[in-house]
Amino acid sequence: MEKKPILFITRHDPSQSGGGCYATRAYLEALIELYPQRVCLFVGNSFNENKIYGYEKLAEIIRVPGRTHYQFAIGLIKNSYTKFDDALKIWLKTNKPEFAVLDGGIIGGSYVKRLKECEAKVYTIHHNQEVEYNKDNKTMDTLRGKYTGWVRKIERKAYLLSNKNLFITDADLQSFELEYGKFDNNYTLGCFEFFSEKEGKYKASISESLEKNLKLVMSGSLDTIQTKESFYWFMDTIYKKLITKVPHMKLSLTGRNPGSELIALCEEKNVDVIPSPEDISLILSQNHIYLCPVKLGGGLKLRIMDAMKVGLPCLIQERSLRGYEEMTKTGFVLSFKDENDFMISFEKLIEKMKNSSSFSEIIFNEYNKNFSFPSGVLKLKRILQN
């Protein structure tokens, strides 16, 4: 008997760059690994399958063009929240999936009822509580963050009707349970890296004295509100104290699309900017400590994994630590609340680094156990086949 297809629908383009895209890529590649030749992908028409590990094992790729702002507004009025409605309706006329993995609460709420009518099980991956994300992400797709009523309505539908709800962090799961009620079909999937042949190629190491040449680094999408606002906050508060206390310190900032205002500020403060790096792991491995001051947005700060997979000690704002709690067991991944708390954690981390010659291996081994692609495939398998 021929096995039924498995549906994967996503608003993110997993072949592009960015936190949501990278997370979706990891989930898609893991699903292909578990169910080769069976996964049917619904995705935007910008999708480049050649960037996806195991793409030749995809059963089908259905690319759907984006919507104009006018079409988006009309869709909201008609309760059509995504661009996939017509394409999915046509596909379901001749296909009956065994189960569907819906990437995000908006996708989940849009199609959970329709798919269950086809007797398919529905598993929704909630990247975050989208109401919280929309408030901080003031783009057209979030209606400038001002109107969250429709988000709450459709996200709630996904949560209540899906056979299983998969969350990236325990904090997200708990916030959903507080908002919409507790259910036995909730699981913390966690985050993990997509497949990479370069895994483990670079390792951080201290080749210079921390007292003479301390190198700190930040990374992220430098054109997003969350990253920019958090960086400006860091420079206005923590950086002033830090450079006074540690004058031999050098800070670098790397990531996609830094704007002219951000570059000008970095030049003024003697901060190095490395725009759109080809190999982020190489850059991070040449530093001593990774900083993540991001305290906005509802999603997981996925690029922290770039630092962990090269064994780089980390100082992370407590909101961005969500999902990485296991890494604090190493003693080299610390969190902070504010500028005063940062200095305490900074001094504690420096002292621990001075007293250890194997911190990189400790961090990498814990990362490999919890966030590597193979570990993610096993996590997804346990949840889907439970």
**What length is written for the chain?**
386
Please write down the long-range contacts of 141-148, taking CB distance under 8 Å and 24 or more positions apart: 141/72
Distance of alpha carbon 220 from alpha carbon 230, whole angstroms:
11
Q: Give the contacts of 341 (CB within 8 A, at least 6 positions apart).
A: none
Residue 252 CA from chain centroid, whole number = 22
Distance of alpha carbon 302 from alpha carbon 22, whole angstroms:
8
Burial of 256 from C-beta contacts in 10 A (0-12 / 13-18 / 19+): middle
Distance of alpha carbon 302 from alpha carbon 280, whole angstroms:
13
Backbone angles phi, psi at 384, to 5 degrees: -70, -35
Q: If residue 69 lies in a helix (H) or strand (E), which one and from where to where? A: helix 69-77
pLDDT tens by residue, 253-308: 998 889 999 999 999 999 999 998 888 899 999 999 999 998 876 556 778 999 99
DSSP state letter for 102: E
Distance of alpha carbon 189 from alpha carbon 380, whole angstroms:
7
Task: Show the tokens assigned to 86.
Answer: 């017509």
Give the relative orientation of helices 373-384 and 19-34 as an angle to the nearest 10 degrees: 60
pLDDT of residue 142: 47
The residues of the chain scoring below 50 in pLDDT are: 140-142, 144-145
pLDDT of residue 316: 96
Distance of alpha carbon 42 from alpha carbon 10, whole angstroms:
6
Identify the sign of the CA torsion 93, 5, 3, 118. negative
